[in-house]
Structure 1
Amino acid sequence: MSEAASTRTPVALLPSLAPLLLAWLPRQRWFAGKGHPLTGFSLVSATELLPLDSATGPGLLHLLVRVQQTGLPAPSSQDCYQLLLGVRRTLPPHLAPALIGHVTEGPLTGRTVYEGLHDPRLAELILERLRTPGALGPLRFDRFEAAGRIPGGLTARPLEAEQSNSSLVYGDAYILKLFRRVHPGSNPDLELPLALARAGCGRVPAPVAWFEATAPEPYTLGVLQPFLHGSRDGWLLALESLADGGTFIEEARALGRVTAEVHTALAKELPTVMLRRPQAEHLAEAMTARLDAAAQAVPALLPYVPRLRAAFDAIAALGRRGCAWRAQRVHGDLHLGQTLRGGGSHSDTHWSVIDFEGEPARPLGERRRPQPTVIDVAGMLRSFDYAARTHRPWNPAWAERCRAAYCDGYAETAGADPRTEPELLRAYETDKAVYEVVYEARHRPDWLPVPMAAIDRLAATN
């Protein structure tokens, strides 16, 4: 493919696709601006990964597109999305579910455009690009040399369970996560696993290869990692334990040890900072602001606001008294579903931690900011509550035993128990529960009693 062909960006390309994208984008699970009118697009970059002028075969067009939406605050009203569009003259029947539409004007007139990730031929082309590092127009493909050679000829299939991103599995050997809503800068889901791999931490599948946009701004676009075939996530294992009358205590303790191991490796590999009075006050103010906004969105929170706010005020007060906390890079969105156990053993050696992207709804700069490690501990403690609530009847004792075992395991490896700083842990757990209330009220109202039970418990301790 010529360099000129790979980087041409016809002025008429995006306007010709816009009518199709206006209808298709809002229906995608990974589109973040649902419920707000989509009014237009601007082209960030366009790259032909496979030429579009083939008379018989498909073409593959890589686009970075900025969307314009009304009713959203900046910068969300100008989100940038990664699209991989297949282009054919005629769409084969087996690709019919991937149809985006038929182009009626512009340079692709008469062509059919579809979701390229559902075409095995095009999906396998992406792996070929990752096998041969180098630049292609504004895109750059790179590899982690220590991971060894990537074999070719692996069959590709998309994973259907993704929400904020898309994933392709290659021959049960690798999984490629493609970030859909992208932000300038290095994505933590590449940055942190790379740091852990260089530190020799085996708890996280090491990146094998990745690709990025280098212009006009740097964007992390996709990361290829080993696919842990046969592994099962901690959430499903916890639900099975509840259904079978198990305790899950040993698993929870092992997860605590694994979490501490990851935190220790990150602290050794990446800079740490101290949070003192100004940072403590800023942290409390941000948590309070989120609480106030949540209470406006979900009135059921209003009676709890004064007591919940006290948890955040306690952090600011400790900062004023001279307390300080070490902050470092963390997972940022840790819960049972972000852990995998392989094999049949309960041993620590079979647990892995995945998905270091953090909460996708938060700005990238915030997700990359050093935080106290209790933010991850609080996320996992909330996850045990969620699991216990799925059981009928509700089993709060199961959750409490798992929460205690998890903290015990963490303390065994870290040398410090997160429960020895109860104010900080309570503040982060409260902040997480407030976030959950808003999420459930908007997306899964039937689940709202789960975080509201935590709100009631946490308010009673303040």
Structure 2
Amino acid sequence: MSEAVTRTLTTPPGLLASLDPLLREWLPRQRWFAGKGRPVTGFTLVSATELLPASSRLGLYHLLVRAQQPLVPGHSAPGGPGDCYQLLIGMREALPPRLAPALIGHVTEGPLTGHTIYDALHDPRPAELLLEAMRTRARIGGLRFERDPDAEIRPGLVPRVMTAEQSNSSVVYGDTLILKLLRRIVPGINPDLELPLALARRGNPRVPAPAAWMVADLGDEPYVLGVLQPFVRGAADGWELALRRLAKGEDFSAAARELGRATAEVHTALADALPTATLGHSQIQALVDGMIERLEDAVQAVPTLRPYSAGLHSAYEALGDLAAEGRTWTAQRVHGDLHLGQCLRSPSGQWWLIDFEGEPSKPMAERRMPQPTERDIAGMLRSFDYAAQSADPPAPEWARMCRAAYCTGYADVAGRDPRTDPVLLRAYETDKAVYEVVYEARHRPDWLPVPLSAIRRLAAPDGTDLM
């Protein structure tokens, strides 16, 4: 392996002021920006690292900036004020036509005056630089690039940025490796690196093993910036695959059963690799209280939920009653945001689970807490419902078959069918459906009937009949 390359750098004064007016316009338009609906009132520079000098034909800065935004009364936006974002800022005198979609703007003041700046992840040269830094374990300013010594990272792989991203950005290198660059950055151990590393050490084949990663050393805790993993060539996104099957009227239950098996394999490996916990009355009551609070907030935000409020409360109260009777549950590390879009199916039919960062809107400490595996299972059951309800016409029987097959596959491996704990599963699925109602009401009102169809079922007295 090559020796680590170390470079120390200084930041030119006035750098952020030079970029500020352009970033205020550009950042809120990005799909991964968490604070939509609120103006950006300013920025705080967390770190700036010059990767290529601005005096050259192509300059490159790696920035971590906090976007200051006011809180809007009654609006619980996913990103609070001061969210930290990772930016890769390229600088040229003029952009070639191929980079026009990446344009941020033209700088008219400060140390970058006269430059055109753009999102450099779309440019092959900066993307190649990141791969080479990981391959050689470089240290550049406060940035640290690490790698698995046994992983093969060939130099010269041709990069291409992926366009179907939401909360992060990804670059594929030669159909061999894929770099997931985290956009909203928080300090501490990130489960998107932590959990795949733990699974790789256990030899679990269902999660691509990290080949390398990027870290910023700032203060007492590191900031994980990106993870490089093997690219599953020819793989189909689980959500898109399910929609294609639905459009053709094809059965998906065999694939759903295999996905259940894959989920159980990952859960089993995580329980073996990392500590577990027992949840008793006090812990479950705290969980129930959180669910009830979210429901009450949701009813205020979406009055359409009000007729179902009592029935939904009963789903949570039933769980609290079980805990009060002395029932306990095992908690462990889980995926945290599992749905069909977080799964890939290879041409050979093998399922892979990806994107272990959990719900980005949750604090990191909460994302890393042990939880019952039903949290993940409920998320996947909701995903089957979403696919079926988005079909024209809706296909509830398709969803029922997929949900049942998924639980059966899970039981094949885990030795325990999730349906044997209907109260816990109903509570988690209800909590997820309530979240979906609020999200759709705010962002996609036309989709509101999808989670509402589940709300009606879950609020009914026989709401534990999940299949």
Asked whether the two chains share a fold, i.e. TM above 0.5, the reply is: yes
2:11 match: 9
Q: Deviations over 1:384-413 (max 9, x none)?
A: 111111222221111111111111111110
Contact 1:26 1:33 in 2 (8 A): yes
Q: Secondary structure at the match of 2:50?
A: strand
**CA RMSD across the alignment:** 1.6
**Residue among 201, 204, 208 paired with 1:205:** 208
Contact 2:344 2:351 in 1 (8 A): yes
Is structure 2 residue 178 aligned with structure 1 residue 175?
yes
In structure 2, C-alpha distance between the alignment counterparts of 1:33 and 1:102, rounded to whole Å: 24
**Residue among 212, 219, 228 paired with 2:232:** 228
In structure 1, C-alpha distance between the alignment counterparts of 2:99 and 2:188, rounded to whole Å: 34
Q: Are the structure 2 counterparts of residues 3 and 127 from structure 1 closer, same or farther at C-alpha, using a change threshold of 3 Å?
A: closer
Moved more, 188-197 or 385-394: 385-394
2:130 match: 126
In structure 2, C-alpha distance between the alignment counterparts of 1:145 and 1:203, rounded to whole Å: 21
Contact 1:388 1:394 in 2 (8 A): yes
1:18 match: 20
**Residue among 52, 55, 60 paired with 1:53:** 55
Contact 1:7 1:46 in 2 (8 A): no
Is structure 2 residue 300 aligned with structure 1 residue 296?
yes
Stretches of 4+ aligned residues off by more than 3 angstroms: 1-4, 72-75
Q: CA deviation at 1:320?
A: 1.4
Q: CA deviation at 1:111?
A: 1.4
1:396 match: 396
Q: CA deviation at 1:3?
A: 6.5
Contact 2:6 2:138 in 1 (8 A): no
**Residue among 316, 335, 347 paired with 1:331:** 335
Unaligned runs of 5+ in 1: none
Is structure 2 residue 362 aligned with structure 1 residue 362?
yes
Q: Map residues 100-249 of structure 1 onto 2, 5 A cutoff.
A: 100-147=104-151, 149-216=152-219, 217-249=221-253
In structure 1, C-alpha distance between the alignment counterparts of 2:339 and 2:102, rounded to whole Å: 32
- Give the letter aligned to residue 159 of structure 2: A
2:376 match: 376
Is structure 2 residue 315 aligned with structure 1 residue 311?
yes
**Residue among 262, 267, 278 paired with 2:266:** 262
In structure 1, C-alpha distance between the alignment counterparts of 2:392 and 2:90, rounded to whole Å: 46
State the number of aligned residues: 454
Unaligned runs of 5+ in 2: none
Q: Secondary structure at the match of 2:150?
A: helix
In structure 2, C-alpha distance between the alignment counterparts of 1:390 and 1:91, rounded to whole Å: 41
TM-score (norm 1): 0.95
2:46 match: 44
Q: Map residues 81-96 of structure 1 onto 2, 5 A cutoff.
A: 81-96=85-100
2:441 match: 441
- Give the letter aligned to residue 14 of structure 1: L
1:417 match: 417
